[in-house]
């Protein structure tokens, strides 16, 4: 994926030439050492704790292992020094894993000192450029940027070069029930199916039924959308019928009170409960009303 496809937000945050811009060795004794290719021991590198990818596919990994076996690691990984020694991996975990599988001693590396937020952002960029993260992994990364680094979702969208609606729709998938999440992770349902299911969180029984139709009968996204529309339409009809029933009950109650007390009565509903206003002209009428109630 080209850098332009990532959006201007990411480009303003991380230069497109980040990987080749400069190679920095914090242990260098003189300026002459800056800019040299570095070989770092694999045993000195720990994987990035902020890596959003949870699933490293066996097929692509096998291809990468064979490529490194034949050609070596062509593109350096990006690492940052740890305070107690060694390095944290920022970008290039697939290359690092493949090199470990091949039991290589060292790997070409560029040493950087980005903060944790940049670590996550760089890991996101690398995975978007090479092989898309799964929907749940992407959503988790968005939430992590929001919660751990105090970014609004508008800022998250800007940084990853996505529309705000895209980010919010992705995050909604995290509210799916466990069985739907697992089906999405296993790719037994598509992201389109998952979005429809996420829109039915208010109808858990119908949501479960829909998941069954998708898994057992191979329903398309279009069929799932039609099921959702019908479910929500039926719910609106039920709500409308309930509202009409409540309105009718209240009107009948007011009419009975008016006839019983022989005066004006007004009902003022609130979100919970309400007020009942009974009119009277003077103390004598008030006494009559009280007597009627008694």
Per-residue pLDDT of the chain (294 residues), as tens digits, is 433 333 333 333 333 333 333 333 434 433 333 334 588 888 888 876 655 555 555 555 777 788 888 788 877 887 778 777 788 887 778 888 888 888 888 888 877 765 655 666 666 656 554 555 688 888 887 887 776 566 788 888 887 778 899 889 999 999 999 999 999 988 999 999 999 999 998 889 999 999 999 999 999 999 999 898 888 888 777 777 777 788 788 888 888 988 888 899 888 877 777 888 889 889 888 889 888 887
Place of tokens 């739907």: 180
Structure tokens at 114: 């980005």
Give the pLDDT confidence score for residue 207 in this predicted structure.
93
Domain 3-131 has CATH 3.90.1530.10: yes
Pick the catalytic residue from 21, 93, 131, 285.
93
58 is catalytic: no
- Residues in CB range of 79: below 8 A, 6 or more apart: 40, 45, 87, 88, 89, 90, 109, 110, 111, 112
Give the pLDDT confidence score for residue 142 in this predicted structure.
82
From residue 37, alpha-carbon distances to 78, 87, 113 in Å are 12, 16, 17
d(CA 183, CA 179): 6
**Mode of pairing for the β-strands spanning 265-269 and 77-81:** unpaired
d(CA 205, CA 163): 32
Give the pLDDT confidence score for residue 21 in this predicted structure.
32
Nearest to 209 by CA among 177, 161, 169: 177
Give the pLDDT confidence score for residue 11 in this predicted structure.
37
Q: Are 142 and 170 in contact (CB under 8 A)?
A: yes
Q: Provide the b/e sequence for 63-99 (b: ≥16 CB within 10 Å).
A: ebbeebeeeebeebbbbbbeeeeebbbbbbbbbbbbb
Place of tokens 């996101």: 124
The answer to whether the predicted template modeling score (pTM) of the entire model surpasses 0.85 is no
Q: Are 112 and 24 in contact (CB under 8 A)?
A: yes
Portions of the chain given CATH number 3.90.1530.10: 3-131
Nearest to 254 by CA among 290, 282, 278, 272: 278
């Amino acid at each position: 994926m080209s850098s332009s496809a990532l959006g201007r937000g990411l480009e303003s945050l991380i230069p497109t030439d980040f990987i080749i811009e400069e190679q920095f060795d914090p242990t260098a004794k003189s300026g002459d050492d800056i800019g040299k290719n570095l070989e770092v021991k694999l045993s000195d590198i720990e994987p990035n704790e902020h890596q959003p990818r949870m699933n490293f596919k066996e097929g692509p990994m096998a291809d990468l292992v064979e490529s490194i076996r034949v050609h070596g690691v062509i593109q350096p990984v990006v690492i940052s020094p740890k305070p107690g020694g060694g390095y944290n991996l920022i970008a290039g975990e697939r290359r690092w894993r493949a090199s470990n599988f091949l039991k290589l001693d060292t790997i070409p590396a560029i040493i950087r000192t980005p903060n944790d937020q940049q670590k996550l952002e760089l890991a996101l960029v690398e995975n978007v450029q090479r092989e898309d993260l799964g929907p749940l992994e992407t959503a988790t990364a968005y939430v992590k940027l929001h919660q751990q680094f105090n970014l609004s979702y508008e800022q998250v969208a800007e940084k990853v070069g996505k529309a705000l609606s895209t980010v919010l729709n992705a995050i909604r998938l995290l509210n799916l029930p466990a069985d739907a999440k697992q089906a999405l992770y296993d790719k037994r349902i598509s992201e389109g199916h998952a979005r429809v299911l996420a829109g039915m969180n208010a109808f858990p029984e119908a949501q479960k039924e829909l998941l069954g139709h998708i898994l057992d009968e191979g329903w398309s996204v279009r069929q799932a959308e039609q099921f959702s529309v019908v479910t929500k339409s039926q719910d609106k009809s039920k709500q409308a019928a309930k509202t009409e029933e409540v309105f009718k009950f209240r009107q009948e109650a007011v009419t009975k009170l008016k006839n019983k007390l022989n005066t004006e009565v007004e009902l003022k509903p609130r979100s919970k409960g309400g007020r009942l206003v009974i009119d009277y002209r003077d103390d004598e009428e008030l006494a009559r009303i009280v007597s009627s109630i008694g």
